[in-house]
């Protein structure tokens, strides 16, 4: 990662400071050790010089995205880094002239904390990434964020930005929202943003009302309940962050800094924080091209066929239509089902796209398709027949299946494209290759998944691929517990207390008990020992901790089998699948490190 | 019989001018963004003109590719936030680009096609070195349609020295010195404050404010100028000191019809009196303003004695001196380029015209006077001259 430098220039009597790492916007500016060195030098200049104001801004499109995550693991003494940030930012806050952070682009974590140490903030209207992602990584904003934000916008908004948004898929603020919340003082057009921020700084006079602390107890109670719903005490960071926000009411800023330092020293070395840092890198890496992807030219996909018009097929058709903007045809046995699907899709896309989606009960409509994806009933013979019919009218089409557990090869498909429900929300697509999958087919599948804005992971043609195999294995532990006297609620609670997003019984209802049972049968056929159809009774009920540990152990054991079979090329792929496809929280760090032979 | 409407120059503004190339202040700034800055400043300074009343946006650039491509007038209008109902187009007459944008817009106003027009130009010579994407037709040389030196402006300047031996290196250097001295003084009085808008620019050293022309050399001396080596010919007379450097810059101006001036309550600066473009031998392009000036005066029924101020472009000292000698004006005439010229401030080809007019308007107001002339020479052998009347 490129070194970040604070660069000072004079704009009349105003100090104009740029936070820049010398790279374009693809490499966002972070705050590491070298950045602090240059920032201290600039602060010396600011304290010595005869300035009327200072404006801090970033290189084009980026303000500053916070601490360098690569340096997380290597800090021997976490307190040192926290203290350095407090000292530096406190000097900015103490400057004897007005200071303005001109937020021209992504402003996250330590970048936002820097901005909060200024007297006021301008923000460009096109900024879409403002926030504190720390809690999502099981740490806290430790450079004054938990102390200054509540002092600026009050505890409720601070709790939302620092605690709750990170737990909602790391939701970030757009410029307008940042202004509405009071984080930024002035929304400016991007076109002359730095010029206008300089003018704003030149005539700065900000009168702030004291934040409203009267509802603090309610805010704390409500926020704590929402944290419980999300993580079930499986990670401490959100609770600690909430305590720090509440503490800001009575603490001096120095006391607040000290409390942050203490909290950070404990959290940074926690297993959850380490797991999160690992998981974050794993997920980020998944967005890049995998090394085992063949170097073939993907085929242009100009027409897509979807076999089936059920819930999944309808979602898939809508996704392909919206992202690829090519003709999509659906086929089902009954015209009324097709019509319902078409009506639902058409009501949900741009008018032009509504005219290029069609469907019927015949096979001939698939003529000219480059890709045909089936999402029909999970029955091997049915799927075989589907692909045999498709081949007659579209002999050149790539045949893909959305099967959740059946053999891609056995049904006569070229490649598996396994999406997760709900399609619009879940980022993962398992791309299953068979020994017969050609390089072109695989490259096309990867390319299509990318254009659908999903995260693809290459997997082998093994029953259940990765996600369903591991989740089903986990379910066997729960079934066993229930068979031996535990209630469904207890099983749910055990899994939720790991920080899982959804109770297993709820998930089973969503997937459909028939489908879940079918997956189990497929897995049982392959590995009867590890996937029994009925649990053995006769034992006694387990404690929640036993269920929890049993579930994790079972998954870890299955991961090992999966890796020995070579279902994925890289162990980290397994964890990416669990995070992106099953919604496992980052702080669990996936399952690979728990596999006995690998840890 | 249709009546032609009078056309008024309402206001003009420019960015600071920068040195072309990686060390210049605009190196990492897009050309169209520079034009947008000038346009937005113009809009801001003229709140009486509702943007939706602009009938056309005419933008000049010599290199109409890259960040100067895409029908610049339209592109810049949209980027500047002017309503999409306002059309725009791009023009090119090399160094007279902005002047041509002004006269083309004036034509639209006079004819009744537009009530208000925005005209200007931009040239980022750092991003678009002169002749970079040009494919010269080989017929020019093989059929001797032009002398091959016509393609290189510095060589055409040497040709003028050859043709007019009375214009020596010393006279050129003396003229350059005066230009620098007058420009240095001009930055101390109000003309630059009134016509130059500072612009925040991103550079390798972080964000800076481009607020001064980078070619200014207040400490220039005759000795220093004499020590410079000829740039285009061994033993030649044209140096970096007595010519304008390669420049990045942008300009924008408002023109309005007489009845629109009344309707909107505008305070116009100048009335367009007459204009002329003339062709000359391409390898002597610097002489172009001489016939253009004569024709513009002739159309207006005026003589040089009637003119109170001249704003001439100065790509080369020899070019100005040629104009002076041919028309009988002394090179140190106080009416000539009182605020210095392109030798001191730079010459971003298609942007320069508006700078001349804006400074002329300022000069006529501050110094008093009725008529003023703006003139430029143009590559491939042309000259431009526009006559204005002070209405301030």
Per-residue pLDDT of chain B (392 residues; tens, 9 = 90+): 788 999 999 999 999 999 999 999 999 999 999 999 999 999 999 999 999 999 999 999 999 999 999 899 999 999 999 999 999 999 999 999 999 999 999 999 999 999 999 999 999 999 999 988 889 899 998 999 999 899 999 999 999 999 999 999 999 999 999 999 999 999 998 999 999 999 999 999 999 999 999 999 999 999 999 999 999 999 999 999 999 999 999 999 999 999 999 999 999 999 999 999 999 999 999 999 999 999 999 999 999 999 999 999 999 999 999 999 999 999 999 999 999 999 999 999 999 999 999 999 999 999 999 999 999 999 999 999 999 999 99
- Euclidean distance between CA atoms A507 and A377, whole angstroms: 19
Residues of chain A with C-beta less than 8 angstroms from the C-beta of B204: 22
Residues from A in contact with B at Cβ < 8 Å: 7-9, 11-12, 16-18, 20, 22, 57, 59-60, 189, 191-192, 194-195, 198
Cis omega (within 30 of 0) for bond into A114: no
Q: Which CATH number is A467-594 given?
A: 1.10.1040.50
Q: Do B206 and A17 touch (CB under 8 A)?
A: yes
For A9, which of B40, B199, B205 is closest by C-beta distance? B205
Using the structure block, give the residue that is written with the tokens 């030149």: A202
Residues of chain B with C-beta less than 8 angstroms from the C-beta of A20: 206
Q: What is the pLDDT of residue A501?
A: 82
DSSP H or E run through A417: strand A415-419
Secondary structure of residue A19 in the 3-state scheme: strand
In a domain, B207, yes or no: no
Q: Are B286 and B322 in contact (CB under 8 A)?
A: yes
Half-sphere exposure of B248 (CA within 13 A, CB side): 31
Confidence of residue A534 (pLDDT cuts 50, 70, 90): confident
CA distances from A272 to A135, A580, A586, A590 (A): 11, 18, 8, 11
Q: Do A194 and B37 touch (CB under 8 A)?
A: no
Give the E-state strand segments of A126-278 in sequence order: 130-131, 186-188
Q: Determine what percent of chain A is predicted with pLDDT higher than 70.
A: 97
**How far does the CA of residue B217 sit from the closest CA of chain A (Å)?**
20
Do B228 and B295 fall within a single domain? yes
Q: Do A194 and B36 touch (CB under 8 A)?
A: no
Q: Do A192 and B207 touch (CB under 8 A)?
A: no
In a domain, B201, yes or no: no
Buried b (16+ CB within 10 A) or exposed e, B102-120: bbbbbbbbbeeebbbbbbb
In a domain, B137, yes or no: no
Q: Which of A494, A497, A502 is nearest to A582 (CA)?
A: A502
For residue A113, pLDDT beyond 80 = yes
Residues 263-282 of B with CB under 8 A from A: none
In a domain, B134, yes or no: no
Closest residue of chain B to A61, computed from CA coordinates: B202
In a domain, B202, yes or no: no
- Euclidean distance between CA atoms A465 and A405, whole angstroms: 7
Q: Which CATH architecture has domain A304-460?
A: 3-Layer(aba) Sandwich (3.40)
Q: Determine what percent of chain A is predicted with pLDDT higher than 90.
A: 82
Q: What is the pLDDT of residue A599?
A: 41
CATH number of the domain bearing residue B309:
3.40.47.10
Tell me the average pLDDT across A540-550: 92
Backbone angles phi, psi at A417, to 5 degrees: -125, 90
Q: Which of A165, A46, A42 is nearest to A112 (CA)?
A: A165
Residue A290 CB neighbours (<10 A):
16
Do B153 and B29 fall within a single domain? no
Do B65 and B170 fall within a single domain? no
Do B110 and B148 fall within a single domain? no
- Euclidean distance between CA atoms B248 and B343, whole angstroms: 14
Is CATH 3.40.50.720 the right assignment for the domain spanning A5-269?
A: no
Query: Which residues make beta-bridge pairs with A103?
Result: A123
Residue A379 CB neighbours (<10 A):
12
Do B117 and B160 fall within a single domain? no
For B202, which of A8, A60, A198 is closest by C-beta distance? A60
Residues of chain A with C-beta less than 8 angstroms from the C-beta of B37: 192
Q: Do B208 and A9 touch (CB under 8 A)?
A: yes
Residues of chain A with C-beta less than 8 angstroms from the C-beta of B80: 191
Q: Which of A330, A313, A327 is nearest to A356 (CA)?
A: A327
**How far does the CA of residue A464 sit from the closest CA of chain B (Å)?**
52
Question: Rounded to 10 degrees, what is the CA torsion of B104, B51, B15, A51?
Answer: 170
- Euclidean distance between CA atoms B149 and B156, whole angstroms: 6
Residues 30-49 of B with CB under 8 A from A: 36-37, 40
Do B52 and B113 fall within a single domain? yes
Instruction: Provide the angle, in degrees to the nearest 10, between the axes of the packed helices A78-94 and A253-268.
Output: 150
In a domain, B29, yes or no: yes
DSSP for residue B69: -
Q: What is the pLDDT of residue A2?
A: 72
Q: Is A398 exposed, middle or buried (0-12, 13-18, 19+ CB in 10 A)?
A: buried
In a domain, B1, yes or no: no
Q: Say if pTM beats, i.e. exceeds, 0.90.
A: yes
**How far does the CA of residue A229 sit from the closest CA of chain B (Å)?**
45
For A191, which of B36, B204, B208 is closest by C-beta distance? B36
Dig out the tokens for A259 from the structure. Answer: 């409390």
Do B286 and B157 fall within a single domain? yes
For B37, which of A189, A192, A198 is closest by C-beta distance? A192
Q: What is the pLDDT of residue A428?
A: 95
For B209, which of A11, A17, A189 is closest by C-beta distance? A11
- Euclidean distance between CA atoms B286 and B237, whole angstroms: 15
Q: What is the pLDDT of residue A596?
A: 61
**Among A113, A156, A260, A430, the one annotated catalytic:** A113
Q: Do A191 and B81 touch (CB under 8 A)?
A: yes
Q: How many domains does chain B contain in total?
A: 2
Do B100 and B178 fall within a single domain? no
Q: Is A206 exposed, middle or buried (0-12, 13-18, 19+ CB in 10 A)?
A: exposed
Residues of chain A with C-beta less than 8 angstroms from the C-beta of B208: 9, 11, 16
Q: Convert the pLDDT of each residue in A8-58 to its tens digit.
A: 999 999 999 999 999 998 899 999 888 999 999 999 999 998 999 999 999
For residue A597, pLDDT beyond 70 = no
**How far does the CA of residue A103 sit from the closest CA of chain B (Å)?**
13
Confidence of residue A289 (pLDDT cuts 50, 70, 90): confident
Residues of chain A with C-beta less than 8 angstroms from the C-beta of B205: 7, 9
Enzyme catalytic residues of B? 95, 347, 377
Domain ranges of chain A: 5-269, 304-460, 467-594
Buried b (16+ CB within 10 A) or exposed e, A47-75: eeeebebbbbbbbbbbbbbbbbbeebeee
For A59, which of B198, B200, B202 is closest by C-beta distance? B202
Closest residue of chain B to A23, computed from CA coordinates: B204
Do B18 and B152 fall within a single domain? no
For A198, which of B40, B200, B202 is closest by C-beta distance? B200
Dig out the tokens for B91 from the structure. Answer: 């023009």
CA A41 to chain centre: 37
Closest residue of chain A to B199, computed from CA coordinates: A195
Give the E-state strand segments of B226-329 in sequence order: 247-257, 270-279, 307-312
For B207, which of A9, A12, A192 is closest by C-beta distance? A9
Q: Are A112 and A153 in contact (CB under 8 A)?
A: no
Active site residue A113: yes
In a domain, B287, yes or no: yes
Do B265 and B277 fall within a single domain? no
Report the number of secondary-structure helices (H) and strands (E) in chain A.
23, 17
Helices (H), chain B: 31-45, 72-79, 97-111, 139-142, 153-163, 169-186, 190-195, 222-226, 258-264, 289-300, 317-327, 342-345, 352-367
Residues of chain A with C-beta less than 8 angstroms from the C-beta of B206: 7-9, 16-18, 20, 59
Q: Do B205 and A7 touch (CB under 8 A)?
A: yes
Do B236 and B312 fall within a single domain? yes
Residues of chain B with C-beta less than 8 angstroms from the C-beta of A17: 206
Q: Which domain does B92 fall in, by range? A: 7-126+246-270
Q: Do A12 and B204 touch (CB under 8 A)?
A: no
Do B260 and B313 fall within a single domain? no
Residues of chain A with C-beta less than 8 angstroms from the C-beta of B199: 195
- Euclidean distance between CA atoms A440 and A590, whole angstroms: 31
State chain A's mean pLDDT as an integer: 93
Residues of chain B with C-beta less than 8 angstroms from the C-beta of A59: 202, 206
Query: Which residues make beta-bridge pairs with A18?
Result: A7, A57
Q: Do B40 and A16 touch (CB under 8 A)?
A: no
Q: What is the pLDDT of residue A595?
A: 66
């Amino acid at each position: 990662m490129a070194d970040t430098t604070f660069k000072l220039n004079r704009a009349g009597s105003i100090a104009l400071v740029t936070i820049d790492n010398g790279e374009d916007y693809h490499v966002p500016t972070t705050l590491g050790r070298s950045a602090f060195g240059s920032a201290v030098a600039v602060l010396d200049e600011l304290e010595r010089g005869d300035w009327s104001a200072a404006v801090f801004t970033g290189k084009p499109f980026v303000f500053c995205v916070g601490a360098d995550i690569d340096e997380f693991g290597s800090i021997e003494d976490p307190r040192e880094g926290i203290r350095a940030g407090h000292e530096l930012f406190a000097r900015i806050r103490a400057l004897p002239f007005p200071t303005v952070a001109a937020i021209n682009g992504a402003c996250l974590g330590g970048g936002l904390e820097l901005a909060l140490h200024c007297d006021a903030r301008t923000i460009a209207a096109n900024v879409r990434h403002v926030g504190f992602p720390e809690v999502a990584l099981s740490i806290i904003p430790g450079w004054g964020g938990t102390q200054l934000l509540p002092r600026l916008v009050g505890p409720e908004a601070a709790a939302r930005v620092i605690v709750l948004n990170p737990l909602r898929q790391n939701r970030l603020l757009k410029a307008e929202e940042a202004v509405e919340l009071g984080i930024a003082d002035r929304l400016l057009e991007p076109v002359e943003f730095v010029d206008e921020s300089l003018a704003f700084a030149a005539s700065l006079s900000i009168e702030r009302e004291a934040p409203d602390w009267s509802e603090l107890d309610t805010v704390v109670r409500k926020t704590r309940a929402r944290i419980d719903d999300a993580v079930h005490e499986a990670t401490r960071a959100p609770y600690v962050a909430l305590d720090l926000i509440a503490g800001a009411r009575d603490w001096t800023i120095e006391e607040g800094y000290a409390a942050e330092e203490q909290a950070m020293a404990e959290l940074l070395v926690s297993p959850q924080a380490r797991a999160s840092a690992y998981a974050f890198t794993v997920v980020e890496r998944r967005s890049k091209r995998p090394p085992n992807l063949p170097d073939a030219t993907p085929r242009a996909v100009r027409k897509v066929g979807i076999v089936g018009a059920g819930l999944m097929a309808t979602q898939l058709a809508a996704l392909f239509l919206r992202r690829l903007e090519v003709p999509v045809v659906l086929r089902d046995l009954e015209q009324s089902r097709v019509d319902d699907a078409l009506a639902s899709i058409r009501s949900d896309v741009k008018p032009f796209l509504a005219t290029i989606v069609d469907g019927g009960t015949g096979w001939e409509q698939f003529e000219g398709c480059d890709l045909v994806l089936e999402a029909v009933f999970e029955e091997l013979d049915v799927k075989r027949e589907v692909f045999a019919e498709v081949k007659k009218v579209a002999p050149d089409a790539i045949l893909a299946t959305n099967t959740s557990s059946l053999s891609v090869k056995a049904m006569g498909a070229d490649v598996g494209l396994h999406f997760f429900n709900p399609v619009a929300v879940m980022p993962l697509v398992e791309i299953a290759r068979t020994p017969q999958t050609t390089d072109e087919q695989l490259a096309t599948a990867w390319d299509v998944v990318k254009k659908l804005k999903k995260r693809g992971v290459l997997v082998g043609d093994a029953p259940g691929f990765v996600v369903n195999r591991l989740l089903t294995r986990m379910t066997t532990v729960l079934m066993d517990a229930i068979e031996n006297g535990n209630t469904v609620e207890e099983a749910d609670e055990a899994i939720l207390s790991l920080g899982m997003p959804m109770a297993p019984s709820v998930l089973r209802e969503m997937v459909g008990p028939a489908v879940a049972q079918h997956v189990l049968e497929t897995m049982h056929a392959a590995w009867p020992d590890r996937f029994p159809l009925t649990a053995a009774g006769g034992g006694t009920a387990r404690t929640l901790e036993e269920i929890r540990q049993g579930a994790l152990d079972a998954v870890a054991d299955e991961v090992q089998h999966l890796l020995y079979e070579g279902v994925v090329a890289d162990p980290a792929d397994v964890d990416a699948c669990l995070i992106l496809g099953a919604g496992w929280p980052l702080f669990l760090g996936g399952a690979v490190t728990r596999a006995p032979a690998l840890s | 019989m249709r009546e032609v409407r009078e056309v008024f120059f309402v206001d003009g503004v420019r960015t600071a001018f920068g040195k072309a190339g990686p060390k210049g202040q605009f190196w990492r700034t897009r050309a169209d963004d520079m034009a947008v800055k000038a346009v937005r400043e113009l809009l801001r300074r003229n709140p009486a003109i509702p943007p939706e009343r602009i009938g056309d946006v005419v933008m000049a650039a010599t290199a109409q590719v890259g960040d100067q491509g895409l029908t610049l007038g339209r592109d810049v209008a949209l980027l500047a936030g002017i309503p999409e109902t306002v059309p725009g187009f791009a023009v090119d007459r090399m160094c007279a680009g902005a002047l041509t944008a002004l006269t083309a817009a004036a034509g639209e106003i006079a004819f009744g096609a537009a009530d208000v027009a925005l005209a200007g130009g931009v040239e980022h010579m750092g991003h678009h070195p002169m002749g970079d994407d040009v494919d010269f037709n080989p017929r020019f040389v093989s059929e001797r349609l032009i002398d091959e030196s016509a393609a290189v402006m510095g060589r055409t300047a040497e040709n003028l020295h050859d043709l007019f031996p009375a214009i020596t290196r010393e006279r050129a250097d003396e003229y350059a010195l005066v230009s620098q001295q007058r420009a240095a003084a001009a930055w101390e009085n109000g003309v630059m404050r009134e016509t130059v808008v500072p612009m925040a620019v991103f550079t390798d050293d972080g964000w800076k404010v481009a607020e001064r022309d980078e070619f200014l050399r207040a400490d220039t001396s005759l000795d220093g100028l004499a020590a410079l080596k000829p740039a285009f010919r061994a033993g030649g007379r044209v140096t970096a000191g007595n010519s304008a450097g390669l420049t990045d810059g942008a300009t924008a101006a408002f023109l309005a019809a007489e009845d629109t001036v009344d309707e909107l309550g505008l305070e116009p600066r100048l009335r367009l009196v007459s204009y002329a473009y003339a062709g000359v031998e391409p390898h002597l392009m610097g002489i172009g303003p001489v016939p253009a000036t004569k024709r513009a005066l002739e159309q207006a029924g005026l003589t040089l004695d009637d003119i109170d101020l001249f704003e001439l472009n100065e790509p080369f000292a020899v070019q100005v001196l040629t104009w002076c000698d041919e028309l009988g004006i002394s090179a140190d005439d106080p009416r000539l380029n009182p605020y210095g010229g392109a030798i001191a401030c730079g010459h971003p080809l298609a942007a320069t015209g508006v700078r001349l007019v804006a400074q002329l308007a300022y000069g006529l107001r501050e110094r008093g006077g009725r008529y003023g002339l703006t003139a430029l020479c143009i590559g491939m052998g042309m000259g431009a001259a526009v006559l204005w009347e002070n209405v301030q």
